[in-house]
Amino acid sequence: MKRQLVRGVFLKIVFPVMSIVSSVFRINKEKVQQLVINVNNKLVRNGRFNPTKRILLLLPHCLQWSECKLKITFNVYNCAGCGKCEIKDFTTIAKKLGLELFIATGGTLARRIVADTKPEAIVAVACERDLSSGIADSYPMPVLGIINDRPYGPCFNTRVDIDKVEDALKFFAGEIK
């Protein structure tokens, strides 16, 4: 309970103050957002949490190969599994673990997915901005955030370390501490 309160104060008070201070002093916003994500992840992992199978895996649409002709935003299982992006790997993981998997085009859709699915825990992949704001907006829901890699720039053919995602899913399922 105490760690949950610390997390709430951090996300609802410290994070907004850090954002203002970073703007005033021209501190790199991505660095501040990375710090928020990392601190949140540590607080969630160190908190008391009952294992659950009601885990939402939330991915950004930019993980999909940009030239793909299939629309996966509203049904990720439309993926043909060609292997040009990591979506097929995530559909396999979701089926194997029996968890909900959704692709979001942005923060508004991600928030709606969370409200509609009512998970007990969330593993989210996104850029620093979307992750940090989504984590804060989802409080007190436990969220583990994984920052995507952007080798071609933002919102275009992004990648993510699947092992980090699986580790977060196993944490919420109670398979690892």
Which positions ≥6 away from 114 have C-beta within 8 Å? 56, 58, 122, 138, 141
Residue 88, pLDDT score: 95
CA dihedral 124, 161, 65, 89 (to 10 degrees): -80
Pick the CATH number of 51-173 from 1.10.10, 3.30.70, 3.40.50, 3.90.105: 3.40.50
One-letter amino acid at 132 equals: S
Cα separation, 37 vs 25, whole angstroms = 21
With a cut of 80, say whether residue 176 has pLDDT above it: no
Cα separation, 47 vs 87, whole angstroms = 30
**Using one digit for the tens of pLDDT, what is the confidence trace for 69-114?**
998 988 999 999 999 999 999 999 999 999 999 999 988 899 999 9
Rounded to two decimals, the pTM is 0.94
Which sequence spans correspond to the domains of the chain? 51-173
Q: Is the dihedral of CA 11, 12, 13, 17 positive or negative?
A: positive
Residue 159: φ, ψ to 5°: -135, 170
**Using one digit for the tens of pLDDT, what is the confidence trace for 41-56?**
999 999 888 899 999 9
